[in-house]
Chain A
Amino acid sequence: MVSILKRSLAIITILIIGYWLAVAMSHVPFGQDKMLVGQYYLNHVKDQTGAINAVTAIVVNYRGFDTLGEVTVLFIASTGVGALLWKRKRERTARVPGSVVLTTGTRFLFPFIVLFGAYIFIHGHLTPGGGFPGGATIATGFLLLYMAFTVYEIPHKGFEVTEGLVGMSYVAVGLIGLLIGSYFLYDWIWQTWHVGTVGKLFSGGFIPIIYILIGLKVGTELSGIIDNMLKEGVSGND
């Protein structure tokens, strides 16, 4: 049988790859201090960025340019989904309306989901989270709306405008650093004025600002992806 042969060949390949990975990983000690640049970040994160969450400080502040690229990748993916699934006329084709439990629960939960998402991205410099999980949480709220109501659609115009403006503001916040004589994505709020006390909500330099922008962008983009995937072309396949 071809399929048994293929399957056993796959298993042998996978076992070889797994053994190779295991041998490689056996030389990496688990649970020991291997930090080099990580220790530098941990030592200096409070005075250099004003944030107490080292992970978000690295993502937004030390490696802000990388994050700008990441947001761009997400934007390209959302555009790509839109382009791949493009049809002249597309509508929602769901026939079965959501049950009473789903619709009532959605009406009740939607504001709280959006509020929780906003909480996650506003407190990105203090608690675990940040713009990406916060935006994803907001998008789940919209997914719930799509599942509960057969005719619901996101306000496309508003979402597209928000997405574009937010993306431009990220670059603008970075360019301000360039304008005042430093580098792109220089933390001008914290480095020049030291606004706020470390550990409180009003601190962390531009991390909360950028994370609010990223949260809005991720939320709108993921909602757009959901919208693109749930709609179908109505007449013909082309």
Chain B
Amino acid sequence: MIEISAYYFGAIALIMIGLYAVLVKKNLLKMLVGLSIMETGVNLLLISIGYINGKSAPILSEGIGPKQAVDPIPQALVLTAIVIGVATTAMALSAAIILYEKYGTLNIEEIRRLRG
């Protein structure tokens, strides 16, 4: 049996929930919600990899020296990832708006030209 931390488990569960929505749901907006959930899971995973037991946020104010702070790099990377996530979600949503205007539906099975 494998043992993983509850934080990793939660993050992986979020990724799986999002992937399920992307694979199974037929409504385009629900798939985009799934993508956003997956993104949250990945961000949570990165943040929890950088966590160190008993240490504080990497803001070196009074009483917190370089030895008492968690790893700042995953947090900086997640800051980037969140912004890129917002950008891609905005792009995907505007593509969904165009699809709705053209086909009158968001059901991906009825948008026939998208069929593989």
Contact = CB atoms under 8 A, between A and B. Distances in A.
A70 B69 contact: no
A84 B94 contact: yes
Given A14-B23, A55-B58, A26 B4 contact: yes
How would you classify the secondary structure of chain A's contact residues: helix, strand, loop or mixed?
helix
A15 to B, nearest CB: 8
Which interface class (under 10, 10 to 19, 20 to 34, 35 or more) fits A? 35 or more
Interface stretch (A5-13, A106-114, A182-190, A202-210): A5-13
B60 A54 contact: yes
A102 interface: no
A80 B91 contact: yes
Interface residues of B, number: 52
A1 B90 CA distance: 35
Interface of B: 2-5, 7-9, 12-13, 15-16, 19-20, 23-24, 45, 48-53, 57-62, 66, 69, 71-73, 75-76, 79-80, 82-84, 86-88, 90-91, 93-95, 97-98, 101-102
Given A42-B69, A78-B90, 12 more contacts: A14-B19, A22-B2, A22-B4, A23-B2, A30-B51, A53-B59, A54-B60, A55-B59, A80-B94, A81-B90, A84-B97, A237-B101
